[in-house]
Structure 1
Amino acid sequence: MFYLIFGFLFLLATLFAHKIDTKNKLVTLGTRVICGTIAVILISSVSFVLIGENETGHFHKIYGGKNLEDGAIIATQGEKGPQADILTPGFHFRPLLRIIYKVSKEQVFIVPENKYGFLIAKDGMPMRPDQTYADAFNPNELRGMIYDARYFLEHNGQKGPQTTVLTPGTHRLNKFLWDVKLGDVTEIPEGFVAVIKSNVWSRVDFGNLKTEKPENISLIKIDEFTGRDLKVPLVPVGAIGIWEKALNQGKYYINEHAYKVILFNIKANTWEYKGGYKRRYIDLVIDDKGIITQKEWETNVPIPENAADPAIEVKVEGWPIPLELRALVQVSPDNAPYVVAAVGGLQEVEDNILTPIIRSVVRNVTGGTIHVPDENSPGKLINRPTRVLDLMINRDVLEQNIEDLIRPESLKAGVDIKEIRFGDPAIPPELLLAWQREQLAQQLKKAYTQEKIAQDERITAEKAKATADQQSKLVESEIEVKRSEQIAIAKENEGLGEKNKLTLITQAQKEQSEILGQDRVVELRKYELLLTTLVNYFDKHPEVLTEALSNAHKFVPERIFTISSENNGLTSAAGILGDFLSSNQEKQKKNNTEKK
């Protein structure tokens, strides 16, 4: 304002300078030029504005124009107050701009990545009574409705929270019109869908959900969900309420104020019914003598943190048995809105609907009858009451029976039970004792048989090894045995020959004695034996014979032998020869002594 006053003063000075009484026209002209220049500079200084690159110029009209209508905040027809127009970056000139308007520079609004901008309009048409959020902008008008306040106000833009949001990026907004709050992007991970609860009746453009503003917003009829018993308030996409279709996996800029996003797990989930009971055991112990003894003990089975519920206690043949089981369940994307609308979520389905159904069906099946092969008639199927050991032996039949009964019930709640599998049933150990002892005895019998076979094989192997180690001696022994057998045969043959010889000699002597007489034959035999003895002696001692022959000349009778008629010639000859040999031996001994 100061610049404007001085500018007008200098402008007046320029206009009336010629009336000053001066004789010098050049002075008058110079004064007018200087005053005019100063006036232009002073007035121009309040007539332009420079807007920076990341700034937006906002007008607030102070002078001129009429007042805004009641309830209006932004002027569109030159009224005083905040203006609908804004200044973009650069140099802007308007006469007396900074006098008529209060110009403010505002920073552009930046929406970071993975965020969205929630818009709140300060001016516009009031919302209808049935609205909590303004109608979404038409895509063809989106730019004008957000960035041009005049367009927004002239095209029935609604005051208050908006359904349309700002996506990440830089936005040059009229802050007289908009307030912006940041929100997080909606990310639907793998294995999930998003069930949308809408607070607005509007057109939709979310990934696989695209539709214009629906005309018919009546609730979906219950009978459209075949096989489902629960009543659900589902609505078409775009209407207010829980939409009949779910939003698929992805990243979306969803106005979390206008839409409530409920993430729903559509992966196969495992519900375990486990723990919460005492389990008893009877251990069988075998000592070195093969005697089986029993030892009883028990333990508490706790409920795991992630278990759906404790183990189900069933009664079979009057025995209470804690039965652990696992249920594999899944909700299809098409059923997710139904489950959310009817129950609230998978946890609520588990706690309020399916767990009671599972417990009831399991107890009914295990306490009822079972269709299994007849033990007494192979190939024949019979229905009989369920036995305790069926929980182990025929568990597949029981599991299938439970699945057949429970699947239709679960589908009524929009949940598909894929399978039911038993865990390890806590059968009373007394019922298993006889079976276990029989099995153990059979195993011991097999073990003892195998041990005996192993021992026999070991003995055979050791024997073979020892035989191999003594092989050379065994060969020698076999050779000796065969040699002794041959020697025995030879001696037997030699004896037989000697026997035959003696037999022949005896026979010859007998015949000889018959001819010569027995005495003569005896004497003849003696002579033969003497000659044989001499021959053998000389054969072994040839030096004696040699010595005797070399001294033959010395044979001079030294003794006189008288032969009487009482003795025969053979006796005398034997005496002479014996004396000769005796004297010869004495001489030999004498010579040997002299040599020494």
Structure 2
Amino acid sequence: MNPRLIRPLIGAAVALVALYVFGYLLAWKWVVCRVEVPPGESLLLTYRGPFPPLRSVPTAPTGTLVETDGRGRPKQVGILQEMPGPGRHFINPLEYKYERIRDTLIKPGEIAVLTAKFGEQLPQGQYLADREGQRGIQRKVLTPGRYRINSYAYDVEVLPVTSCVKTNGGVQHEPGEALLIPAGYVGVVTNRSEDLRTGARRGTQDDVLQPGIYYLNPFATQVDILSVGYNETTLQVAPEVGPDGSMLYQEVEAVGVGELAPLSRDPVYDKEKGIWFLSRDGFDIFLDFTTIWGILPDQAPDVIRRFGKAGEQQQNVLEVVEEQVVLPDIGSIARINGSRHGAVDLLIGDSREAFQTDTSEDLESRLNEKNLTLLFGLTRHIYVPAEVREPIQRSKIAMEVKLTNDQKQLTAEAEGDLMEAKAKVTLEERRVAAETDKLFAEAIAQGEKQAREIEATTEKLEAELDARTAAIQADITTTIGEAEAKKVELTNAAEAERYQRYVQTLGGPDSYNRYLFAENLPEDLRLGVFYAGPGTFWTDLRGFEQVMLGKLASESLAPGAAPEGTGTAASPAPRPASIRSDDRR
């Protein structure tokens, strides 16, 4: 290749690379096309068409979104469904237009209902979209969280969780509370339309929602929260009061038992309070009544069907049931059963108990017909007029007084018996005490006698034991003396035999005496031999030696020289003689 052509080609290649790097990558793409999306936002893109416009692209029909190919590239001019999220994006402003959209934030205790603006039309009679791609209100709701929603394709309505609640049953929900049904309550569900996904029919469902958290579409479901368990309802009589606030009383004619006796005044009772009816004999009767009734979970749906008011958004069904069912039934049943009895019958135990039983059974049957539960009904107090009540009370009082007097007489008799028994007990106590003292004295005398006998026996045994001990001690002393004498005898004999053996061994008494003389010489004796002439010194020395040996032998055999502890003197044991000399010549 011609070298002149290589250099221009290299320059052109370098220029193209520089133009691509600095012109396209740096200036165009990094500066013009770069879009930074912060967290919490996304981009709504609108496709303008290809650039350069080398081909024509159709516009998406009104009310629709842009169709895309398999690689996600738009095939029409219009708004795209996909929305790029937070991060760095490179978007050609000649092909796309973008708009920053903030994410939809659903807080705890809230839901979001989506309404699709585009998509397939819903079938006739259906107003909720059960799947994606259908236009209209979406049955599925969005729970708390952060969502990237195309505002061109969907409308978003954020609602509280309790927006599906129609009847609260006295439940108070705080703002932001996620717990839809608290403990002690159930939720009765009423579907506004059929749910094709689950097959749930329209209307009130037989299955209730237990306490917990639920996210329900208020356009699809209505929930009535109802308290389950037992409730107390009481009808109580109240007296009428005058303008000054004091109780009003009615006058009663004087009647008596045997003789006239004034009656206590009766208050004037309000016939609108408690339960009022006429007895079989025409007296005004007032009574207090308390009932414990309730609604069980399986009864809740039927209660809502019967007593739920469709025109009211917030109501307390328990109050409705109490006002429309429980209170009227208690009043009517008590009046019907009470009018069958006379005034006196309502005071006597057996007939009053029969009235109580009949009223409770009739009320239980009436509530069961309306799918309610009765725990028990109790007639607490019956107010009977004084002209009926007090003669009976006085008769009862007289009877009780008679019974009291009879009992007092029995008590007096019992007290007499008690005093007699106490006297007998005292006499018996004294007799037992005397017997006890006698037995105690006899026991002491017997004990002292046995003690003296034991002491005498003990002294006798001690004397016998001392005599035996003395005899044994004498035997011991005699035996010891004989043993000591025998010991001395044997010792002396042994010593004599030993000296005899010494003498025999050394060859005679003279040799033994010399041996003792040599043994008893002092250790530091020094002998010197001097020459003194013929005969004189040696002759004298031999006579001196004999004298000294005789003296030593007489001292060793002298009587009374006994060793210490035995009474005999111990002679030194013979040992080899040694002659010590410093100088031997």
Scaled by the length of structure 2, the TM-score of the pair is: 0.52
Which consecutive unaligned segments of at least 5 residues does structure 2 have?
A: 1-7, 51-56, 69-73, 162-177, 241-247, 253-259, 309-316, 416-585
Instruction: Give matches, 1:454-469, under 5 Å.
Output: none
Secondary structure at 2:371 match in 1: coil
* Separation in 2, partners of 1:347, 1:401: 26
How far the C-alpha of 1:440 sits from its partner, in A, is 5.3
The residue number in structure 1 matching 2:90 is 93
* Separation in 1, partners of 2:214, 2:347: 50
Identify the match of residue 339 of structure 1 among 277, 297, 303: 303
Instruction: Give matches, 1:2-401, under 5 Å.
Output: 39-40=23-24, 41-44=26-29, 45-64=31-50, 65-73=57-65, 76=68, 77-94=74-91, 96=92, 98-135=93-130, 152=132, 157-178=133-154, 179-184=156-161, 185=178, 187-202=180-195, 212-214=197-199, 238-275=200-237, 278=240, 294-296=263-265, 298=267, 310-344=274-308, 345-368=317-340, 385-390=341-346, 393=349, 394-401=351-358
Residues 311-369 of structure 1, C-alpha deviations (whole Å, 9 max, x = no match): 3435342112122212221222112111211232444444334444433322222222x
Residues 439-483 of structure 1, C-alpha deviations (whole Å, 9 max, x = no match): 556777859998xx99xx9xxxxxxxxxxxxxxxxxxxxxxxxxx
The residue number in structure 2 matching 1:566 is none
Secondary structure at 1:166 match in 2: coil
Distance 1:130 1:282, change over 3 A: same
Q: Which amino acid aligns with 2:279?
A: K
Contact residue 188 and residue 226 of structure 2 kept, 8 A: yes
Which consecutive unaligned segments of at least 5 residues does structure 1 have?
A: 1-23, 138-151, 204-211, 215-237, 284-290, 304-308, 369-384, 458-596
* Separation in 1, partners of 2:261, 2:337: 37
* Separation in 2, partners of 1:50, 1:202: 43
Q: How many residues were matched structurally?
A: 356
Contact residue 285 and residue 343 of structure 2 kept, 8 A: no
Secondary structure at 1:164 match in 2: coil
* Separation in 2, partners of 1:318, 1:362: 16
* Separation in 2, partners of 1:349, 1:88: 55
Contact residue 111 and residue 142 of structure 2 kept, 8 A: yes
Contact residue 132 and residue 199 of structure 1 kept, 8 A: no
Scaled by the length of structure 1, the TM-score of the pair is: 0.51
* Separation in 1, partners of 2:139, 2:322: 35
Distance 1:243 1:319, change over 3 A: same
How far the C-alpha of 1:389 sits from its partner, in A, is 4.2
Distance 1:29 1:256, change over 3 A: closer
Secondary structure at 1:84 match in 2: coil
* Separation in 1, partners of 2:115, 2:238: 55
Q: Which amino acid aligns with 1:52?
A: P
* Separation in 2, partners of 1:312, 1:298: 14
Contact residue 277 and residue 339 of structure 2 kept, 8 A: no
Q: Which amino acid aligns with 2:45?
A: F
Contact residue 34 and residue 89 of structure 2 kept, 8 A: yes
Contact residue 117 and residue 153 of structure 2 kept, 8 A: yes
Residues 116-172 of structure 1, C-alpha deviations (whole Å, 9 max, x = no match): 22222222222223223222x5xxxxxxxxxxxxxx4xxxx2222222111222223
Contact residue 109 and residue 170 of structure 1 kept, 8 A: yes
How far the C-alpha of 1:63 sits from its partner, in A, is 3.5
* Separation in 2, partners of 1:396, 1:245: 41
Contact residue 314 and residue 362 of structure 1 kept, 8 A: no
* Separation in 1, partners of 2:407, 2:321: 58
Distance 1:392 1:70, change over 3 A: farther
Contact residue 275 and residue 335 of structure 2 kept, 8 A: no
* Separation in 1, partners of 2:207, 2:230: 20
Distance 1:49 1:357, change over 3 A: same
Residues 352-400 of structure 1, C-alpha deviations (whole Å, 9 max, x = no match): 34444433322222222xxxxxxxxxxxxxxxx5444425634332122
Q: Which amino acid aligns with 1:51?
A: V
Instruction: Give matches, 1:400-415, under 5 Å.
Output: 400-415=357-372
The residue number in structure 1 matching 2:385 is 428
Contact residue 280 and residue 429 of structure 1 kept, 8 A: no
Secondary structure at 2:94 match in 1: helix
Q: Which amino acid aligns with 1:187?
A: L
Secondary structure at 1:390 match in 2: coil
Q: Which amino acid aligns with 1:133?
A: L
* Separation in 2, partners of 1:59, 1:321: 84
* Separation in 1, partners of 2:237, 2:120: 63
How far the C-alpha of 1:58 sits from its partner, in A, is 2.0
Q: Which amino acid aligns with 2:393?
A: Q
Secondary structure at 1:46 match in 2: helix
Distance 1:181 1:392, change over 3 A: farther
* Separation in 1, partners of 2:388, 2:262: 17
* Separation in 2, partners of 1:323, 1:92: 83
Q: Which amino acid aligns with 1:189?
A: P
Contact residue 324 and residue 425 of structure 1 kept, 8 A: yes
Contact residue 346 and residue 382 of structure 2 kept, 8 A: no
Distance 1:74 1:294, change over 3 A: farther
Q: Which moved more, 1:436-445 or 1:165-174?
A: 436-445
Contact residue 280 and residue 298 of structure 1 kept, 8 A: yes
* Separation in 2, partners of 1:406, 1:297: 30
Distance 1:319 1:75, change over 3 A: farther
* Separation in 1, partners of 2:66, 2:327: 60
* Separation in 2, partners of 1:264, 1:34: 77
Contact residue 266 and residue 385 of structure 2 kept, 8 A: no
The residue number in structure 2 matching 1:586 is none
2:374 maps to 1:417: yes
Q: Which amino acid aligns with 2:77?
A: K
**Larger proportion of strand:** 1
Secondary structure at 2:324 match in 1: helix
* Separation in 1, partners of 2:21, 2:182: 70
Instruction: Give matches, 1:537-556, under 5 Å.
Output: none
